[in-house]
Amino acid sequence: MKRPLIAACALVVAAGCSFGALYAVNEHKKKAAEKEASESADYILTDFDSTLVTNIRFEFKDGSVCDTVIDDEGFWSGSFEDGKTFPAASSSIDGICLSASALEAHGSYGEATEEKMKEYGLDQPYKLTFTLPDGEHTVSVGDNTATDTYTYVMVDDRNKIYTLESPTAAGLVINRLDLKSSDFMPFSENEIMELSASKDGQEVYSISRSDAGSPWTLGGKYSFLKVDQSEVSARITTMVRVSADQVLSDDPSELAEYGLDQPFAEFDVKSFDGSERHMLVAPCKSDTNYYYIYMDDTQQVGTYLRGDLRPINYTPFDYLEKRMTNVAMTIVSEFSFSCEAGGDQFTKDENGDFLCRDTKLDMTNAEVQSYFTAFYNSVCYFLAEGCDADNKPELKDPVFSSEFSSDTGESSSFDIVKEGDTYYAFMNGEFTGLTLDGEEAIGNVISSYKTLCEHTGIDPAIE
């Protein structure tokens, strides 16, 4: 009886020991998991909704401070210690908010002692303070580790030093020069009311509109000239998308360094609400593909690609409709031309066939149609080579004239008057303000007319 009893007792003891060991193991695992969870939670440095940030204070390592605020439309503005408000780089600030909203540390360096903070560049850090409806979050960014793989940071009121992966930390940092918006245009396309350019203190041109739906017109003596609306629209569409390749300075005392103390041009943009931006322009010393441009309102100098900013070098002529057009061939019913060498007249019958005096042109013949089209285009379309708003030539003794009537009863005329070596263009009896290469234009008419006559049997009416 003793042996079974002893065996039973041994089993009980063994079971108790096993249970105790199992309990100890479980407790160890539980504490390890709790510790791991605690450490993991400690590594979550920030967790907030980036879209709720209303203000950010930027404290730079050089001691300068900038406060930024977002408006109802999602655009940021800022001000440095001088209190002057400027449009801020909204997309960059939005990116910083997003980066800062979910920071997770890579490692922890323990308590933030004075010695450690100095060693890791956190005694004079780059600091961000984000304001949200439920409070503030601060992030202080120090130096990189020796390998530049990680960056030392501190957050909120935690008296601990952490490391972030360097690319993550870089997403929080912005150069103070890049904090201001570097957009060439401070307004949207629909907000722009006027553009003007000056050189040597004299206005080269001013182009404006009364409201967003009105056509653009040139100012001053050029006001009677016909503006190419699509050209203005194309240039503005490009310019509103242009921003600086690099911001170089925000100190007006440094303008001479970039040749902006004696700019070769000045450019102005005005909006319908009365706001405006005045810019000084100088050629970039290191790369002729760029301009140095100083923005008067933001007091910053940047480099801008010249090809995107052609209106800085525009003259009134660059904004004009250069192609002078009469009645299109598809709707013309009758037309004529005359010059010093002679002239002729063409009509279109009820069948849509063209006649020159008594000769009908076989427009079903592809070759004839081609010669007639070339001739008609030479009579109908003329290309300007310049403008002259100072002279007021009279429509007298034209060296070339043409008249057109359409199927709908409309009519138009075109004349060229020569004064000295200049050929002036008149549409419907009015001076267009445009000049052209008259010899070439008239020569094209005569040449294409003679070619048409040669291939259709028409007796030429010009020498």
Answer whether residue 111 is part of any domain.
yes
Answer whether residue 21 is part of any domain.
no
> Average pLDDT of 6-26?
53
Instruction: Clarify whether residues 330 and 278 are in a common domain.
Output: no
* C-alpha pair distances (Å), 428 with each of 68, 146, 395, 404: 58, 79, 10, 10
pLDDT digits (tens, 9 = 90+) for 320-364: 999 999 999 999 999 999 999 999 999 998 888 899 988 999 888
Answer whether residue 230 is part of any domain.
yes
Instruction: Clarify whether residues 346 and 452 are in a common domain.
Output: yes
pLDDT digits (tens, 9 = 90+) for 238-288: 999 999 999 999 999 999 999 999 999 999 999 999 999 999 999 998 999
> Average pLDDT of 418-435?
97
Instruction: Clarify whether residues 57 and 82 are in a common domain.
Output: yes
Instruction: Clarify whether residues 123 and 226 are in a common domain.
Output: no
> Average pLDDT of 196-201?
96
Q: How many CB atoms lie within 10 A of CB 15?
A: 10
Q: What is the pLDDT of residue 129?
A: 98
- Residue the block writes with tokens 């360097």: 166
Task: Say if strands 276-283 and 265-271 run parallel, antiparallel, or are unpaired.
Answer: antiparallel
Instruction: Clarify whether residues 341 and 427 are in a common domain.
Output: yes
Q: What is the pLDDT of residue 24?
A: 52
∠ Cα 180 186 191 (to 5°): 155
* CA distance linking residue 375 with residue 449, whole number of Å: 6
Q: What is the pLDDT of residue 18?
A: 56
* CA distance linking residue 376 with residue 381, whole number of Å: 8
Answer whether residue 337 is part of any domain.
yes
pLDDT digits (tens, 9 = 90+) for 158-179: 999 999 999 999 999 999 999 9
* C-alpha pair distances (Å), 102 with each of 43, 47, 99, 168, 169: 11, 5, 7, 10, 12
Backbone angles phi, psi at 99, to 5 degrees: -65, -40
Whether the CB-CB separation of 332 and 348 falls below 8 Å is answered with yes
Whether the CB-CB separation of 140 and 130 falls below 8 Å is answered with no
> Average pLDDT of 299-322?
97
Instruction: Clarify whether residues 367 and 414 are in a common domain.
Output: yes
End residue of a domain, out of 300, 319, 338: 319
* CA distance linking residue 446 with residue 378, whole number of Å: 9
pLDDT band at 452 (very low <50, low <70, confident <90, very high): very high
Q: What is the pLDDT of residue 463?
A: 80
Instruction: Clarify whether residues 197 and 291 are in a common domain.
Output: yes
* CA distance linking residue 304 with residue 260, whole number of Å: 14
Which spans in 187-270 are helix H?
A: 229-239
Amino acid sitting at position 77: S
Instruction: Clarify whether residues 220 and 240 are in a common domain.
Output: yes
**DSSP secondary-structure letter at 318?**
G
- The rounded percent of the chain whose pLDDT value lies above 70 is 92
Instruction: Clarify whether residues 109 and 168 are in a common domain.
Output: yes
Closest CA relative to residue 194, chosen from 270, 266, 278: 270
Answer whether residue 1 is part of any domain.
no
Least confident range of 35-39, 197-201, 309-313, 388-392? 35-39
Amino acid sitting at position 262: Q
Q: What is the pLDDT of residue 14?
A: 52
The structural domain count of the chain equals: 3
End residue of a domain, out of 270, 289, 319: 319
pLDDT digits (tens, 9 = 90+) for 267-280: 999 999 999 999 99
> Could you tell me the residue range of the domain that residue 349 belongs to?
323-456
Instruction: Clarify whether residues 168 and 86 are in a common domain.
Output: yes
End residue of a domain, out of 319, 335, 353: 319
Answer whether residue 213 is part of any domain.
yes
Arithmetic mean of pLDDT over the chain: 92
> Average pLDDT of 2-14?
52
Backbone angles phi, psi at 82, to 5 degrees: -75, -10
SS3 307: helix
Does residue 27 register a pLDDT over 60?
Answer: no
Whether the CB-CB separation of 346 and 334 falls below 8 Å is answered with yes
Whether the CB-CB separation of 152 and 277 falls below 8 Å is answered with no
Answer whether residue 113 is part of any domain.
yes
Q: Looking at the DSSP assignment, which residues form a beta bridge with residue 320? A: 227
Answer whether residue 23 is part of any domain.
no
Q: What is the pLDDT of residue 323?
A: 96
pLDDT digits (tens, 9 = 90+) for 35-54: 454 457 899 999 999 999 99
Backbone angles phi, psi at 251, to 5 degrees: -115, 110
* CA distance linking residue 67 with residue 78, whole number of Å: 5
pLDDT digits (tens, 9 = 90+) for 58-117: 999 999 999 999 999 999 999 998 888 989 999 999 999 999 999 999 999 999 999 999
Instruction: Clarify whether residues 269 and 226 are in a common domain.
Output: yes
**N-term to C-term CA, the chain:** 149
**DSSP secondary-structure letter at 243?**
B
> Average pLDDT of 196-202?
96
> Average pLDDT of 116-122?
96
Instruction: Clarify whether residues 286 and 377 are in a common domain.
Output: no
Whether the CB-CB separation of 342 and 331 falls below 8 Å is answered with no
Closest CA relative to residue 425, chosen from 463, 374, 383, 371: 383
